[in-house]
Structure formats: structure tokens, C-alpha cells
Structure 1
Amino acid sequence: MPSTEKSGEIFRIITADDHPIILQGLRRLLEEDGRYNIIAECDNGQKLVDTVKQREADLIICDLSMPKLNGLDAIREIRKLRPEIKILILSMHKDAQIFEKAMALGVDGFVLKEDIYDQLQFAIQTVLKGGKSYSPRITESLAKEKSDKGDLASEILTRREREILRLAALGKSNRDIGDELDISVRTVESHRSNLMRKLDLQNVQELVAFAVKQGIVSVDEIES
């Protein structure tokens, strides 16, 4: 797991935004810190994907609203090409549904542009250490939407399935879940398969996004 505390280590960053002033601001903000080197700047999503094919990077900081290929579609392609790269979204969008889509793609962080000076440096350091970081305004919006829609998990999942959903969303392995609930790994696998089918979830990223949306786990718990 990378750490921003290693002496002399320089992290390679690709930035993507269709506004030159944002790219310039990111370069000025990050290169004042000797730990970061912006190796490429992209003004559209397709250029970002093409750059990732050609360059090795530790972190991508990208907008969502970009021409030629939007941010979410670009991230989807990048996850196929280089699943190990950390991805941090920098966006003006506070919409909970957009945040959920980003989480389902496995992004590592989401910072609102209005919070760039307060939270971006912290988010970058957290993500590069293997953690997750999300703007509080986003999680507040998500919590409001959750309360408006009610608790879907309670309606369609058994108590045991809800327990396993929570532990899986926290990143625990099937063996760890079995040990904690005093059940076999095979039983955990069966319950996990059932809840994924009931909720129409395709992967662990979608599972985590659903668990956060429904209030089964908090973003703070995932970040810790």
C-alpha cells in the first residue's frame, strides 16, 4: 500500500478537466508540494483514456462533465485497463445518484470543486494510502436521499443477509464474516449470493454503494 510519508517518493498524477483554469489551479496547488508530479493534463475523457494507455500513473484526478467521453464512462474504461490506479473525482455535482454511480465503479475519492482548497490535499493523501475520501456535502446529500426513499434492505433481505451485507461492505472476507457470525464460509457464500441476486448487484463496488445509500454502513466506517 503506498504511503505519502515515504521519503523522496514522487507520486505520478494525471489530471482531467475541460476547464483550463482548473487544470492550471491543480498544477499550481499540487506541484507546490514536492511529493506530486503531474505527468499529463487532459481536456476530455477520451484523451484521458488514451493517456492512461500510454503512461504509468499512481493517481487520476478527473472531472465528470467532459466532452467526447464523460468522466464516468472514462473511469469505466480505465478500470478495465488499469484497475490498480487510484481515482479521485473532482466535480461540481452534488447529486447522490451520480455519487452512487461513481462508487459502483470503484472510485477512491470524491471532492467537490467548492471544497478543493479545504479537502483536496487530505483526500489525495488518504487515497494514496489506500483509503477512501468523500466530501461531507456529498454524504449529507446521500443520507437525505436515503431517508426519503426508506429502507429497501429491511424489506427484501433476511436479518442474516443484512448482517452479511454490512460486513461485506466493510471489506471483510467471507472467512472473517463466518468467524464473526459463527457460521461456515459456505453458508456465508450462500447468503452473499442470495443477497446479490435479490438486490441485482453485480460486484463488490455496487454492494458497497448500496450499503452506504441504505445507511447500513457509513462513509466514515468505510474510510476508517
Structure 2
Amino acid sequence: MRTLLLIDNQDITREGMKAVATRLGGFFEIKEAGTQKELTHLLTKHPDAVAVLDYTLLDTSVDYLLILQERFKEAHFILFSDSLSEDFIRRMVFSGTSFSVVMKDAPKVEIEEGLRKAKQHVQYICTRIAWQLQHKEEKKDESASPLTATEREILKLMALGKTTKEIAAGRFLSVYTVMTHRKNIFRKLEVNNVHEATKYALRAGIVDAVEYYI
């Protein structure tokens, strides 16, 4: 079982999260901290902990959080705040799978789900933020994309884990044709693999963020 770290200088928030975590179960112990220094100290002792933190209440930076992510690869961070900028959320979410996002006004069921996923080291994004990210991307002009409509559809299937054979069968195409589309997608996006192409698909709204993270 993992240790739960609560990094928040609001007493009511810490008490509320402790109540939810205790009811949910599955944590070995719960530790509290209120500063960046205390957080680092606790992670040193518990490198695979789940850390629930309010970034807006800490005297820290995005770069420092990314350093913690790199240093403590087994830890999982839940960004738990009243308000977070879109740029901050995107940078955290697309930096890897160690950062989840749950807003403080999220329903209890989503807070519990965020904790469950974090224990498994699986990224979770609450519904409101996932919808905002998706809605923002949908407003962008698709004509700005270097991909054709067919290439966008194939990229979405690739990002969702479909193999070349599965894509070919589902779209009644030959494997060779799908492979050609795949090469064109990589060339146009200037990427080398599906992982990099998937990052583009998420940023461009080609893949539904809610569908992908579930």
C-alpha cells in the first residue's frame, strides 16, 4: 500500500481529504505538509507516495514539480486546487502520466476515483477539466492541421491503440494503404513513433481526452 501525502495549508481541505481517503482505504498512512521543503522531505522517505497538493498555495514552480516527477518516478501527484490555468494544466498533463488533475469543486465520486487511479499510478483528469481541454481544442480551425480528414481518423485509431491490421479491417482498406497513411502522418507531424503522434492527437483534439484517459 502507498503512503498518502497531503500538501495544503488549508486545514479544512486536509481534513476533508483525510476523511475521503480513510473511507476509500488502501493507504498505509497519511502524512501532512504545508511547504515545498516538507513535500520533498516526505517524498525522500516515501518515494512511491501519492501526493495531493494545491499548487496555488505553495511557494513553488512548474519546473520544480517536473523535477520532482523526474526524481521520484514511482510517486503520483494529484493537482487539487480551486483554479488552475489552462497552460499549467496542459504542461502538467502532457509531461507524462504522473500528474492527475482534480478540482476542489469536483463531485466526491471523482475525488475518490482520482485517488483510486493514483494508487495504481494511472493518470486521471476530472470531468470538468477534461471537457474544457476538449472543448478548447474543438474550437480550433481544423484546416490548420497538416493532416487530411482520413489521416486524422487513422491517427485517432492509432492513438486509441488499434493495430495496423485492425484499422485496415475496420475501414475496409488494405494493410499497405494504412501503412502508407501511417508514414505520411509521421512525416507531416515530424514524429518518429506512435507515442509522439498520440501527444499531437491529444493536443489537437483529434482524440477525446475523456475517452483516452478512461
**So what's the TM-score if we normalise by structure 1?**
0.70
| Alignment-derived partner of residue 171 in structure 2 | none
Instruction: Determine which of 187, 190, 194 is the counterpart of 2:187.
Output: 194
1:65 aligns with 2:65: no
How many residue pairs are counted as aligned between the two chains?
Answer: 207
Instruction: Determine which of 146, 150, 157 is the counterpart of 2:147.
Output: 157
1:196-215 aligned at under 5 Å gives the runs 196-197=189-190, 204=195, 207-208=198-199, 210-215=200-205
- Alpha-carbon distance, 1:183 to partner: 5.0
Determine what percentage of the aligned residue pairs are the same residue.
Answer: 17
| Alignment-derived partner of residue 119 in structure 1 | 110
- Distance in 1 between the 2:180 and 2:123 partners? 30
Contact residue 14 and residue 57 of structure 1 kept, 8 A? no
Say which one has the larger Rg.
2
Structure 1 gaps, min length 5: 1-9
| Alignment-derived partner of residue 77 in structure 1 | 67
SS in 2 for 1:65: helix
| Alignment-derived partner of residue 135 in structure 2 | 144
| Alignment-derived partner of residue 98 in structure 1 | 88
| RMSD over aligned Cα atoms | 3.6
Q: Which amino acid aligns with 1:143?
A: Q
**So what's the TM-score if we normalise by structure 2?**
0.73
1:52 aligns with 2:36: no
Contact residue 15 and residue 42 of structure 1 kept, 8 A? yes
Distance 1:74 1:38, change over 3 A: farther
- Distance in 2 between the 1:84 and 1:211 partners? 26
Contact residue 49 and residue 77 of structure 1 kept, 8 A? no
Deviation by residue 1:158-214 (Cα, 9 ceiling, x = unmatched): 5676456434543x39xx457745359x9798656535537xx9x948953x42342
1:15 aligns with 2:6: yes
- Alpha-carbon distance, 1:34 to partner: 3.4
Instruction: Determine which of 42, 45, 53 is the counterpart of 2:33.
Output: 42
Structure 2 gaps, min length 5: 169-174
Contact residue 45 and residue 66 of structure 1 kept, 8 A? no
